[in-house]
């Protein structure tokens, strides 16, 4: 055979292979990411996946919606294992260290992802992402979640799956009342509108309380130590605070920024309802729905439920009737950089004996097609996290001002601030919770913050400053660790 004929045969073979490859690629691209995952998962029919979820409303999604749908599509059963949120990290780590393979799919708090990934408890997902063509859809996750809650040191360990963000809810009828607007402008020299700064928050809150209390108060907040660390983290950074000196890894929470936040918190409770210092999630939620509060800051489900979305759903029978369904407005909190406040990423346990099947399930759940259905479930607490969720016409028509609600969530998905992420993050957060408890008990704010910084320094020394610097530096390098 001559060289020229050999070359022609080789080129022909390459052309045929290329054509076949192009047909395969076209077929794959014609399928959605959800379809690709479901089709590939059929080979695991008969398998049962153990899916680890926060107890409460969250598991109603895989139990009643996605789980049955997935089993019908693939033959794979979903077994939901529930746990209180505060115990999920410990149980995940215990299962990993013991090698029990107890979980296949994990719901991971994004600020705990680094700790779990470095410990080896999570499976890196990049190879699966490429194998099943999911990378393009990942780029369509809203920026703050995509760029901050998916990777550890450059590797994908989880799919951001819950757009948790703390936003401001306010009474439009009170803010837009002509008499209120005139009186407020005369007193403070600017228009009555959702506060842009914490100083404005105090002035507006006091103004409304002075006029309406005890029938209505200017604001009421989640203030009890349990969730107070979220608000402190946000406000501390809004005031210009940094958590650590990266050179020494010495804590700097006792800076002027921290002291200002504590003093402002003490000033604000004076125009809020009595006992607000011990309010958790339910009290301000009930206060908003009953018309007792003109402002509060909370998670996205509050906005849906206050508008009456999901009324009549059995799982939401505990929610009191709303008296403000057509009166609630939505805005970013003072500073414009809301705390992302928990949220979840879907991950695969490294000890799972069904890793590929587990991966395919989370790709399917997280896909544009399926996630759009999930975030509209009124009962399941999964909040919008993809850009398509915010613009979806169906979602925007769910109640009268659902479009305004989604626009504010979209803005939060661009400017929101990450929860602090460290090794043993919860121990640092527990320090903040204890500090807030002391603040409400009447201790000196400066002393409390100095003690908090010393407590953090001891933790860092015990863990190892170099180890902690590695995690903190990676976290601090992300776009939404600190306000731009």
Q: Is 19 exposed, middle or buried (0-12, 13-18, 19+ CB in 10 A)?
A: exposed
pLDDT at residue 257 greater than cutoff 90: yes
Q: How far apart are alpha carbons 359 and 355 in whole angstroms? A: 6
Could you tell me the CA-to-CA distances from 52 to 95, 103, 354, 424 in Å, in that order? 11, 6, 14, 20
User: Looking at residue 28, what is its pLDDT?
Assistant: 44
Q: Which letter does DSSP use for residue 319 in this model?
A: S
Q: How far apart are alpha carbons 429 and 420 in whole angstroms? A: 9
Question: Are residues 184 and 367 in contact, defined by beta-carbon separation less than 8 angstroms?
Answer: no
Q: How far apart are alpha carbons 370 and 365 in whole angstroms? A: 6
In 269-337, where do the E strands start and end? 295-298, 328-331
User: Looking at residue 16, what is its pLDDT?
Assistant: 35
Which has the closest alpha carbon to 228: 79, 453, 436? 436
Q: What is the mean pLDDT of the chain?
A: 92
Mean local confidence (pLDDT), 21-49: 77
Which has the closest alpha carbon to 362: 53, 31, 82, 24? 53
Which has the closest alpha carbon to 329: 407, 272, 269? 407
Mean local confidence (pLDDT), 322-333: 95
User: Looking at residue 380, what is its pLDDT?
Assistant: 86
pLDDT level of residue 339 (50, 70, 90 thresholds): very high
Q: How far apart are alpha carbons 264 and 293 in whole angstroms? A: 19
In 7-75, where do the E strands start and end? 48-54
% of residues, the chain, pLDDT over 70: 94
Mean local confidence (pLDDT), 438-443: 97
What's the distance, Cα to Cα, between the start and end of the chain in Å?
A: 68
Residue 316, φ and ψ in degrees, nearest 5: -110, 20
Which has the closest alpha carbon to 236: 337, 384, 381, 106? 337
Element (H, E) at 295: strand 295-298
Q: How far apart are alpha carbons 157 and 149 in whole angstroms? A: 9
Residue with the larger pLDDT of the pair 32 and 2: 32
* pTM over the 0.85 mark: yes
User: Looking at residue 264, what is its pLDDT?
Assistant: 97
Domains 35-161+344-382 and 164-341+408-484 share a fold: yes
Q: How far apart are alpha carbons 309 and 378 in whole angstroms? A: 7
Hey, how many other C-beta atoms are within 10 angstroms of the C-beta on 3? 7
Q: How is domain 35-161+344-382 classified at the CATH fold level?
A: D-Maltodextrin-Binding Protein; domain 2 (3.40.190)
Q: How far apart are alpha carbons 319 and 151 in whole angstroms? A: 36
User: Looking at residue 30, what is its pLDDT?
Assistant: 62
Q: How far apart are alpha carbons 157 and 128 in whole angstroms? A: 11
pLDDT at residue 87 greater than cutoff 70: yes
Instruction: Please state which architecture CATH assigns to domain 164-341+408-484.
Output: 3-Layer(aba) Sandwich (3.40)
Cis peptide before 214 (omega within 30 of 0): yes
pLDDT at residue 410 greater than cutoff 70: yes
Q: How far apart are alpha carbons 133 and 131 in whole angstroms? A: 6
Question: Are residues 174 and 294 in contact, defined by beta-carbon separation less than 8 angstroms?
Answer: yes
Length reported for the chain: 484
Could you tell me the CA-to-CA distances from 137 to 32, 133, 396 in Å, in that order? 10, 8, 22
pLDDT at residue 22 greater than cutoff 60: no
DSSP 125-179: -HHHHHHTT-HHHHTTB-HHHHTTSSEETTEE--EE------EEEEEHHHHT-HH
Residue 152's DSSP bridge partners are 155
Which has the closest alpha carbon to 89: 483, 472, 345, 424? 424
Return the exposure string of 131-153: e unless at least 16 CB atoms fall within 10 Å of the residue's CB, then b. ebbbeebbeebbbbbbebbbbbe
Q: How far apart are alpha carbons 470 and 468 in whole angstroms? A: 5
Angle ∠(325,326,327) on CA atoms, nearest 5: 95
pLDDT at residue 2 greater than cutoff 80: no
Residue 458, φ and ψ in degrees, nearest 5: -65, -40
Q: How far apart are alpha carbons 301 and 178 in whole angstroms? A: 30
Ramachandran area for residue 120 (φ above 0: left; ψ -120 to 50: alpha; else beta): left
pLDDT level of residue 226 (50, 70, 90 thresholds): confident
Q: Where are the domains of the chain?
A: 35-161+344-382, 164-341+408-484
pLDDT level of residue 162 (50, 70, 90 thresholds): very high
pLDDT level of residue 14 (50, 70, 90 thresholds): very low
Question: Are residues 170 and 295 in contact, defined by beta-carbon separation less than 8 angstroms?
Answer: yes
pLDDT at residue 5 greater than cutoff 80: no
State how beta strands 159-160 and 345-348 pair: antiparallel
User: Looking at residue 3, what is its pLDDT?
Assistant: 35
Residue 297, φ and ψ in degrees, nearest 5: -125, 130
């Amino acid at each position: 055979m001559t060289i020229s004929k050999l070359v022609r045969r080789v080129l022909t073979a390459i052309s045929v292979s290329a054509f076949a490859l192009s047909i395969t690629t076209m077929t794959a691209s014609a399928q959605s990411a959800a379809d690709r995952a479901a089709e590939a998962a059929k080979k695991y029919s008969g398998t049962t996946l153990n899916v680890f979820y926060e107890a409460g409303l969250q598991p109603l999604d895989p139990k009643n919606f996605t789980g049955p749908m997935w089993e019908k599509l693939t033959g794979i059963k979903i077994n939901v294992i529930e746990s209180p949120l505060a115990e999920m990290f410990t149980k995940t780590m215990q299962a990993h260290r013991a090698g029990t393979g107890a979980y296949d799919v994990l719901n991971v708090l994004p600020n705990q992802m680094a700790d779990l990934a470095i410990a080896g408890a999570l499976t890196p997902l990049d190879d699966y992402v490429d194998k099943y063509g999911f990378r393009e859809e990942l780029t369509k996750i809203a920026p703050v979640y995509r760029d901050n809650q998916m990777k550890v040191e450059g590797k994908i360990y989880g799919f951001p799956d819950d757009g948790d963000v703390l936003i401001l809810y306010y009474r439009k009828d009170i803010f837009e009342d002509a008499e209120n607007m005139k009186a407020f402008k005369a007193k403070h020299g600017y228009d009555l509108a959702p506060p842009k700064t914490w100083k404005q928050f105090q002035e507006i809150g006091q103004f409304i309380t002075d006029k309406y209390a005890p029938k209505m108060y200017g604001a009421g907040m989640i203030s009890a130590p349990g969730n107070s660390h979220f608000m402190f983290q946000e406000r501390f950074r809004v005031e210009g605070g940094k958590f650590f000196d990266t050179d020494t890894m010495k804590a700097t929470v006792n800076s002027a920024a921290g002291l200002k936040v504590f003093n402002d918190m003490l000033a604000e409770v004076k125009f809020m309802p009595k006992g607000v210092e011990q309010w958790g999630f339910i009290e301000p939620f009930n206060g908003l729905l009953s018309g007792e509060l003109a402002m509060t800051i909370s998670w996205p489900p509050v906005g849906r439920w206050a508008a009456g979305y999901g009324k009549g759903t059995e799982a939401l029978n505990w929610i009191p009737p709303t008296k403000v369904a057509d009166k609630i407005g939505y805005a970013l909190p003072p500073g414009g950089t809301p705390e992302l406040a928990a949220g979840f990423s879907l991950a695969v346990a490294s000890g799972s004996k069904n890793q590929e099947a587990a991966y395919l399930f989370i790709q399917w759940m997280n896909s544009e097609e399926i996630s759009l259905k999930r975030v509209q479930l009124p009962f399941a607490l999964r909040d919008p996290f993809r850009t398509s969720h915010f613009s979806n016409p169906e979602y925007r028509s769910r109640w009268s001002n659902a479009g305004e609600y989604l626009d504010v969530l979209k803005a939060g998905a661009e400017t929101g601030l990450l929860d602090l992420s460290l090794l043993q993050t919860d121990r640092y957060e527990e320090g903040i919770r204890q500090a807030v408890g002391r603040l409400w008990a009447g201790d000196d704010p400066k002393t409390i913050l100095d003690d908090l910084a010393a407590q953090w320094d001891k933790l860092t020394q015990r863990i190892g400053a170099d180890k902690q610097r590695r995690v903190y530096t990676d976290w601090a390098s992300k776009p939404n660790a600190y306000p731009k």
